[in-house]
Chains A and B, each alone.
Chain A
Amino acid sequence: MKIIKAGIWDTVQDLGRYGKQHLGINPTGAMDKYAMQVANALVGNDLNEAVIEMHSPAAGFLFTQPALIAISGADFSPMINGEEVPGLHPIYIQKNDVLQFHRPIKGARVYIAIAGGIKIDDWLDSMSTNLKAKAGGYDGRKLQKDDQLILRKQNLFTNTHQEYFVLPWTADLNWMHSDNSLNENIIEILPGYEWERLTNSSKEMMTNASFEISQQSDRMGYRLNNVPLTTTSNEEIVSSGVSFGTIQLLPDGKLIILMADHQTTGGYPRIAHVITAHHSKLAQMNSGDVIHFQFTDQKKAEQLYIKQQQHLQQLQNACMLRLKEYFK
């Protein structure tokens, strides 16, 4: 497929590059790993297959050969040859079809998975783009107009249709709304090591106030527009490991939530951590959106994540069966 119009921030990502953080090489990877894996499941890929992650305005594509794709994550009103198509369905695309995104409706990041994956050299065992290192993904950079993406493996699903068609099943993600996720603005957290440094009033603010995601937010981190929080200790923290979801307190009292492109180490107080199961939800928030933090515990956080992963596994198995049945 060929890019006929560049998007604002489109990169190739997989689940991330692990095992190199001791070298200062950060994991990167998809912001919304759940959505990225759902897209892969829908087209029968391994869950870790590289996908295209896009922000709005997103790129436009011309398909130079038939392909089975799926779109997940944000709703940017996808269109094929000018006709609206749904997300969360496998879609069979024919040669010369054009895929574009009309306008952002919901969410912040959209994913396209292609059956067979994208042919790209891996760097240190991952296909994720590391823009800072200028390595991994598509030449270590964002996708541009006229870039050509080639299938890594032959498309196994063939058919005799003349036009693109949407396959009649969808990934049911309603289960995700069965718990706290019902309120889209609630992000569950665990206390960080320096939580106790906050003054009582700042601790109360953390769970009572709402936190707006500022304009200075990107794949590295979300800065929050909050009334400055205060601490009872200013003892310096020497640099130490940080993680996706770590909420740091900056010297001006504002908060930053570290996201997929975070550095490997940091030296600001670790006030709290967003639970892994809520990374996906957070990754679909835009600047201007408001977060309400709510504490949970280690055990519940783990269970929610396990539930998510089990669901993905079931989805992958079910999709594979359907695809085999449909294209036999």
Chain B
Amino acid sequence: MSQQGLPYRFFPLGDSAITIDFGNCIDENINLEVINRYHQLKKDLLPGMIEIVPAYSSLTIHYDILKISKFYPDTNSAYGVMTDFIEEKMKLPVTNINQETRLIKVPVCYDPEFARDLEQFTSTKNISTEELINIHTSKIYKVFMIGFLPGFAYMGEVDEKIAMPRKQQPNIVASGSIGIAGKQTGIYPLISPGGWHIIGRTPLKIFNPEKTDPVLLRSGDTVQFYSISKIEYENY
């Protein structure tokens, strides 16, 4: 499947990176374009282009000024090489590269012991814990992007009934904590300050530096949570 790409603009992110922006928003279609373009561009990177960072609605390409100027000695500037590259590549139709979408099932223990904000959350939203669990586990979420911490997946979108703006004051959050902020849900890969409402915890290690592939989730993956008991959590 291939089609004409969505409109975009690009701008320099300092002198060693450039961002391609598809509209500064959280939107499934735009995010799909970001992920498809990410895979497409990644294959074609030129010497001196270091890496691409996909986000909700943007791609950032980091590059090495010196390497690009060596590789293109006649060019006016590395930034010029980058803009030519982007304009040329973005003319190509976007292809849906991520054909096989992975579905990752994530066990969550919603026991209050692992869910510091559960009580406040359910009372503010005026729902029972059972309802919260049902709503949170009934939907398959999309991983929009990975950022903030190693392996931290921004997923969405949650049902309006369990959406809640992030907390005013961040506090220390345990590794594996499942949080909600706005219409996003996420998993804390390691202990960290965080401002999301914590409603459960997974025993699954979503970041493990000892593995050759240390991060479990990728942009474009889908995730479904399922509820486990405290005993199942402890024996996982």
A8 at the interface (CB under 8 A from B): no
| CB closest chain-A residue, reference B149 | A24
A150 at the interface (CB under 8 A from B): no
Which of A59-67, A83-91, A209-217, A235-243 contacts the other chain?
Answer: A235-243
| CB closest chain-B residue, reference A135 | B209
10 closest cross-chain pairs (CB), A and B: A241-B60, A273-B14, A265-B147, A135-B209, A241-B53, A301-B15, A23-B215, A238-B56, A240-B58, A240-B55
Is the Cβ of B15 less than 8 Å from the Cβ of A19? no
Pick the contact of B15: A24, A133, A273 (CB < 8 A): A273
Is the Cβ of A124 less than 8 Å from the Cβ of B13? no
| CB closest chain-A residue, reference B53 | A241
In the bound complex, residues from chain B placing their C-beta under 8 Å from that of A246 are 13-14
Query: For the complex, what is the distance from the CA of A302 to the CA of B56, rounded to whole Å?
Result: 29
- Chain A-chain B contacts (Cβ-Cβ < 8 Å), number: 150
| CB closest chain-B residue, reference A16 | B50
In the bound complex, residues from chain B placing their C-beta under 8 Å from that of A135 are 209, 214
Given A265-B53, A275-B15, A302-B15: A21 touches B148 (CB 8 Å cut-off)? no
Given A24-B148, A133-B190, A265-B55: A273 touches B65 (CB 8 Å cut-off)? no
Contact with B along A13-55 (1 / 0, CB 8 A): 0000011111111100000000000000000000000000000
Which of B20-28, B118-126, B128-136 contacts the other chain?
Answer: B20-28
Given A22-B51, A298-B79, A302-B78: A241 touches B209 (CB 8 Å cut-off)? no
Which B1-52 residues have C-beta < 8 A from chain A? 11-17, 19, 21, 24-26, 38, 50-52
A169 at the interface (CB under 8 A from B): no
Query: For the complex, what is the distance from the CA of A264 to the CA of B151, rounded to whole Å?
Result: 11
- Please list the residues of chain B having a beta carbon within 8 angstroms of any beta carbon in chain A: 11-17, 19, 21, 24-26, 38, 50-60, 62, 65-66, 69, 76-79, 145-152, 154, 189-190, 192, 207, 209, 214-215, 218-219
Pick the contact of B77: A24, A140, A275, A302 (CB < 8 A): A302
Is the Cβ of B69 less than 8 Å from the Cβ of A133? no
Which A258-287 residues have C-beta < 8 A from chain B? 263-265, 270, 273-276
In the bound complex, residues from chain B placing their C-beta under 8 Å from that of A19 are 50-51
Contact with B along A135-149 (1 / 0, CB 8 A): 100001000000000
A194 to chain B, nearest CB (A): 10
Query: For the complex, what is the distance from the CA of A274 to the CA of B15, rounded to whole Å?
Result: 8
B46 to chain A, nearest CB (A): 15
| CB closest chain-A residue, reference B182 | A236
| CB closest chain-A residue, reference B54 | A22
Is the Cβ of B52 less than 8 Å from the Cβ of A274? no
A134 at the interface (CB under 8 A from B): yes
| CB closest chain-A residue, reference B61 | A241
| CB closest chain-B residue, reference A22 | B53
B161 to chain A, nearest CB (A): 22
Is the Cβ of A305 less than 8 Å from the Cβ of B65? yes
Is the Cβ of A276 less than 8 Å from the Cβ of B16? yes
| CB closest chain-A residue, reference B207 | A133
Query: For the complex, what is the distance from the CA of A278 to the CA of B192, rounded to whole Å?
Result: 30
A-B contact list, 8 entries, CB within 8 Å: A21-B51, A24-B150, A190-B15, A192-B14, A242-B13, A245-B14, A270-B13, A302-B78
Given A237-B24, A241-B60, A243-B14: A25 touches B150 (CB 8 Å cut-off)? yes
Query: For the complex, what is the distance from the CA of A62 to the CA of B59, rounded to whole Å?
Result: 48
Query: For the complex, what is the distance from the CA of A235 to the CA of B24, rounded to whole Å?
Result: 10
Given A21-B51, A240-B56: A263 touches B148 (CB 8 Å cut-off)? yes
In the bound complex, residues from chain B placing their C-beta under 8 Å from that of A275 are 14-15
A328 at the interface (CB under 8 A from B): no
In the bound complex, residues from chain A placing their C-beta under 8 Å from that of B66 are 305-306, 309
Query: For the complex, what is the distance from the CA of A263 to the CA of B154, rounded to whole Å?
Result: 14
| CB closest chain-A residue, reference B67 | A309
In the bound complex, residues from chain B placing their C-beta under 8 Å from that of A123 are 209
